[in-house]
Amino acid sequence: MPTRSVWLGIGALVCLAAAIWLWGGGGANRLAAWAANEQHQVQNALAQALRALKTNQPGALLSLLSLCFAYGFFHAAGPGHGKLVIGGYGLGQKVAMKRLIGLAIGSSLAQAGTAILLVVGGLSLLDWGRVELTGLTEEVLAPLSYGLIALLGLWLALRGGRKLWPHIRHQALHGTLQGHGHNPSKDGTQHNSLGRRLRHSLNPHGVDDHTHAHSHIHPTHHHDADLHDASVCPDCGHRHGPTLDEVANTKTLRDALAIMASVAARPCTGAVFLLLLTWRLDLMTAGVLGTLAMGLGTASITIAVAVASVTFRTGTLSRLSGPRARTSAATMELVGGLIILLVASQIVLRLI
């Protein structure tokens, strides 16, 4: 029976092979063409479903929602920024798969919510039409969204580089010392001998250093469980700062908000068109439900990317330990951030 690390390794190889096919073998272009063709067919079916809903045909709403889900699925299968952010973040950060899946769903639904707010606000408050709404979406919100994504990638890359720098500096220093011909064993013997002479001069009676220091630093023993918490002050018994778990959760929440904001800043054009049509047909409730169904369809692809990124990261690091694992993790964070930064920056330059 294969172990968990074996399955993770197989998953990592599958993810690597898929990435090579997508970006090295032209698979991304073929996938985008297939997705665009399927989206066009779903759009035609959506028009028929709206006409059936307007005439109160049975099952029309369920048919509309199913088509909206399919549209979101095919839309996400093509080029998109949600997959880029979720995949890059899952590759670069140690995040639980369930949490990243929840983040993928939340980002897709937040993007759907932006489309609803944009259309409802533009139509009811500003009396905008299709030209104004689509112009705002494509000319303003799209560059803004990809700009935020680029900044997110830069943030992740800098964080990974900051973690990787101490390892690089250590390796450089170690190589310099070896290049100068230092003998670690000889130097260590000299340092140990000097340390013994210093300790003897400070402690001539031969009292054990650890016992002597311990008797002065800890004159009494506290059995209160709260004092064993590093965030609780031993003098006043109150907390003066967050625990390590709280700091980690805060960082995760901050990352999640940044990811959701960057993805949700640009609503799906198909959702905007759907909401415009249902507004004119006086079927706005169906339009809102259909937009949310599109968000769930988009999330289905993003969830697959989240699972693949976490599996690749975990499988790659499963056989490493110690400094090698930390160096590899920091390198993945740096690479993931750079991928997000470079791809998003290219799209921004193409849009503006």
Q: What is the pLDDT of residue 79?
A: 64
Q: What is the pLDDT of residue 303?
A: 93
Q: What is the pLDDT of residue 300?
A: 92
Q: What is the pLDDT of residue 230?
A: 44
Q: What is the pLDDT of residue 112?
A: 94
What residue type is 13 in one-letter code? L
CA distance 139 to 233: 54
Judge if pTM exceeds 0.75: no
| Per-domain residue ranges of the chain | 4-172+254-351
For residues 102, 107, 112, 113, the Cα torsion angle rounded to the nearest 10 degrees is 90
CA 350 to chain centre: 24
Ranges in the chain, pLDDT < 70? 1-32, 34-35, 79-81, 174-251
For residues 135, 141, 142, 145, the Cα torsion angle rounded to the nearest 10 degrees is 180
| 132 contacts 118 by C-beta, under 8 angstroms | no
